[in-house]
């Protein structure tokens, strides 16, 4: 069976018992299932196939900020995915993993010179542009390099979407996108520029958008703008409808893929454009766990704390977004339950993975997993408290590969230097 499942009271990833991984690689560590990633990619692709005609299938550009390990990128590249990048570093990773430039789109906010030039060098498919100055810079650098850049303008549709205020991006107070009126002006301006080629419009309203209700008005505003631009006499050949597709972290009811695909068919398909999507979390979120050890059980007058050897430096989502992540013990031998505050070893009270959570009773040294951390887990990890970054392990049926080694203590100081005058 693929993915994470209980076999004989022991949690497995595909065919591999998690205790074997803990023994070989130590804890904490990130463990990913290749088959879950494949299944997610295919589920999204198949939902689109069921609803959209064969010659109008969207290009799925995996938003690699969710998880940018080059092995994960390679896996998605072999499945036929494109890539959405937001930095020169992500471009570098994508090219190393084997993505060709013509499947890469750059959506970064505040694109800098070196990143723009690297993207032009790689002849990426398009730049999604955030502001007039950014457009000017792309045109200028493209002229210097004798290139022409394809441009989409990102629309701010002024809709509220996203599982948390910090990850909603489509409201008028957010820094992202341009108004419809500004895009009309930018389209005109870019048509007069020598080294940019305006080809369409993009949106991205937020992440973990759980209601179709949020996508609908954004799609409608995108469609309205396409009509206006065409009436202005411009070509609009591409629409990029962004990412934001949600996953289940707990038992929440989420919009289903078919409903989403129908929305695309109803509103975007009639525009007769090439369609692009930028899913990140959906591809990898449920494909990863953070495997940790119960370091101590600490009883205080008001709480019982389950102290893990993983901390908020390894997984920041609960601290940063009050995000829910499932916690469970790897061995299911203990049927008594207990209520814990599940915390890490970092010197902050915010270093908490779950508050007042009832799970199977855990003893010191037992293994525990924090679930659904394949997206925005390792990619947001840090060295806070001088803790080395954990290893990442990819499992595919009975194949196990260390795709990112644990940092060493020497790694922590390798880029630092003590001045001679001290
Ligand atoms: N496209 C653009 C332009 C984006 O800004 C993002 C995410 C995506 C696509 C992918 O969105 P997804 O399909 O993964 O929802 N760190 C936060 C999520 C931040 C998302 C930022 N942008 C978290 O842990 O929830």
Q: Are residues 293 and 384 in the same domain?
A: yes
Q: Which one of 279, 298, 330 terminates a domain? A: 279
Among 244, 279, 314, the domain-final residue is 279
Residue with tokens 């550009």: 61
Q: Are the C-beta atoms of residues 346 and 385 closer than 8 Å to each other?
A: yes
Pocket test for ligand 1, best of 81, 86, 110, 243 (most atoms within 8 A of CB): 243
Atom of ligand 1 nearest to the CA of 246: 15
Residues 239 and 323 in one domain: no
Q: Is residue 389 part of a domain?
A: yes
Same domain, yes or no, for 122 and 245? yes
Q: What is the pLDDT of residues 315-348, one digit of tens each?
A: 999 999 999 999 999 998 778 999 999 999 999 9
Ligand 1 centroid, distance to 134 Cα (angstroms): 21
| Coil, strand or helix at 310 | coil
Q: How far apart are the CA of 203 and the centre of ligand 1, in A?
A: 12
Could you list the residue range(s) of the whole structural domain that residue 198 is in? 67-279
Q: Within this chain, do residues 235 and 179 fall inside the same structural domain, yes or no? A: yes
Over residues 357-366, the pLDDT tens digits come to 999 999 999 9
Do 290 and 402 fall into the same domain?
yes
404 lines ligand 1 (CB under 6 A): no
First-last CA distance in the chain: 59
- CATH code: domain of residue 151: 3.20.20.10
3 CB-near residues (< 8 Å, 6+ apart): 13, 14, 33, 35, 36, 39, 286, 287
Whether residue 272 sits in one domain with residue 140 = yes
| In a domain? residue 62 | no
Same domain, 109 and 161: yes
Residue 49 domain-assigned (yes or no) = no
Check whether residue 222 and residue 271 sit in a common domain. yes
317 CB under 6 A from ligand 1? Answer: yes
Find, among 238, 219, 280, the residue nearest to 151 by Cα: 238
281 Cβ inside 6 Å of ligand 1: yes
- What's the rounded Cα separation, in Å, for the pair 94 and 77? 9
Ligand 1 contacts CB of residue 280 (under 6 A): yes
Is there a domain that residue 101 lies in? yes
Q: How many domains does the chain have?
A: 2
pLDDT of amino acid 1: 59
Q: Is residue 55 part of a domain?
A: no
How far, in Å, is the centroid of ligand 1 from the Cα of 393?
23
Catalytic residues: 347
Q: Is 97 contained in some domain?
A: yes
Task: With respect to residue 184, please indicate whether it lies within any of the assigned structural domains.
Answer: yes
Q: Are residues 259 and 299 in the same domain?
A: no
46-53 contact pairs (CB < 8 A, 24+): 47/257, 47/258, 47/260, 47/261, 48/261, 48/264, 50/258, 50/261, 51/258, 51/261, 51/262, 51/264, 51/265, 52/261, 52/264, 52/265, 52/269, 52/275
Whether residue 325 has its Cβ less than 6 Å from ligand 1: no
Please give the Cα distance from 46 to 261 (Å, whole number): 10
Evaluate: CB of 244 within 6 angstroms of ligand 1: yes
> What span, in angstroms and rounded, lies between the C-alpha atoms of 2 and 32?
11
Cα-to-centroid distance, 316 and ligand 1 (Å): 15
d(C-alpha 239, C-alpha 202), whole Å: 6
How far does CA 27 lie from the centroid of its chain? 24
Cα of 379 vs centre of ligand 1, distance in Å, is 12
Q: Dihedral through CA 1, CA 32, CA 207, CA 371, nearest 10?
A: 80
Q: pLDDT at position 264, please?
A: 96
- Ligand 1 center–CA 66 separation, angstroms: 7
Instruction: Tell me the two tokens of residue 361.
Output: 């009773």
Do 346 and 210 share a domain, yes or no?
Answer: no
Q: Which two tokens stand for residue 87?
A: 């930095």
Atom of ligand 1 nearest to the CA of 154: 3
Instruction: Clarify whether residues 248 and 102 are in a common domain.
Output: yes
Low-confidence ranges of the chain (pLDDT < 70): 1, 163
* Binding site membership of 279 for ligand 1 (Cβ less than 6 Å): yes
Ligand 1 and 63: CB distance under 6 A: yes
- In short, whether 12's Cβ falls inside 6 Å of ligand 1 is no
Q: Give the pLDDT score at 76.
A: 98
Q: Which of 234, 250, 279 is the last residue of a domain?
A: 279
Atom of ligand 1 nearest to the CA of 278: 9
CB-ligand 1 contact for 376 (6 Å cutoff) = yes
For residues 200 and 268, membership in a common domain is answered with yes
**Residue 392 — φ and ψ, nearest 5°?**
-120, 135
Report if residue 174 sits inside a domain: yes
Residue 379 in contact with residue 284, Cβ under 8 Å?
no
Mutate to test the pocket of ligand 1, among 67, 205, 281, 370 (most ligand atoms within 8 A of CB): 281
Which CATH number goes with the domain that contains 307?
2.40.37.10
Between the CA of 167 and the centroid of ligand 1 the distance, in Å, is 7
**Closest-lying ligand 1 atom to the alpha carbon of residue 285:** 14
Given the CA of residue 163, which atom of ligand 1 is nearest to it?
A: 25
């Amino acid at each position: 069976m693929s993915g994470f499942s209980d076999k004989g009271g022991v949690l497995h990833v595909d065919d591999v018992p998690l205790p074997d991984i803990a023994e070989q690689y130590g804890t904490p560590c990130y463990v990913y299932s290749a088959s879950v990633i494949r299944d997610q990619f295919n589920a999204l692709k198949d939902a689109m196939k069921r609803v959209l005609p064969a010659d109008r299938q969207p290009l799925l550009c995996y938003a690699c900020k969710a998880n940018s390990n080059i092995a994960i990128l390679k896996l998605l590249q072999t499945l036929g995915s494109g890539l959405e990048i937001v930095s020169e570093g992500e471009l570098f990773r994508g090219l190393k993993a084997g993505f060709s430039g013509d499947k890469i789109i750059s959506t970064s906010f505040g694109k800098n010179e070196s990143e723009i030039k690297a993207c032009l060098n790689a002849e990426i498919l398009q730049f999604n542009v955030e502001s007039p100055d950014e457009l000017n810079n792309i045109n200028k650098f493209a002229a210097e390099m004798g290139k022409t850049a394809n441009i989409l303008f990102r629309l701010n549709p002024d809709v509220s979407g996203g599982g948390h205020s910090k990850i909603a991006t489509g409201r008028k107070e957010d820094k992202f996108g341009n108004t419809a009126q500004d895009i009309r002006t930018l389209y005109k301006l870019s048509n007069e520029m020598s080294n940019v080629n305006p080809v369409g419009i993009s949106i991205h309203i937020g992440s973990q958008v759980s209601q179709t209700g949020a996508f609908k008005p954004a799609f409608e505003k995108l469609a309205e703008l396409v009509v206006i631009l065409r009436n202005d006499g411009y070509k609009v050949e591409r629409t990029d409808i962004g990412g934001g597709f949600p996953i289940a972290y707990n038992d929440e009811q989420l919009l289903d893929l078919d409903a989403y695909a129908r929305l695309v068919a109803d509103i975007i398909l009639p525009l007769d454009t090439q369609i692009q999507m930028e899913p990140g979390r959906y591809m990898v979120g449920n494909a990863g766990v953070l495997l940790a050890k119960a370091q101590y059980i600490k009883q205080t007058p008001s709480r019982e704390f389950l102290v893990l050897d993983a901390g908020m430096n390894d997984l920041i989502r609960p601290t940063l977004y009050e995000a829910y992540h499932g916690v469970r013990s790897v061995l299911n031998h203990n049927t008594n339950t207990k209520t814990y505050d599940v915390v890490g070893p970092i010197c902050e009270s915010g270093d908490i993975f779950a508050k007042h959570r009832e799970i199977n009773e855990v003893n010191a040294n037992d293994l525990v997993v924090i679930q659904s951390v394949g997206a925005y887990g390792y990619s947001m990890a840090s060295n806070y408290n001088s803790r080395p970054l954990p290893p990442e392990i990819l499992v595919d049926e009975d194949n196990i590969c260390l795709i990112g080694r644990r940092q060493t203590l020497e790694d922590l100081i390798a880029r630092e230097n003590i001045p001679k005058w001290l």
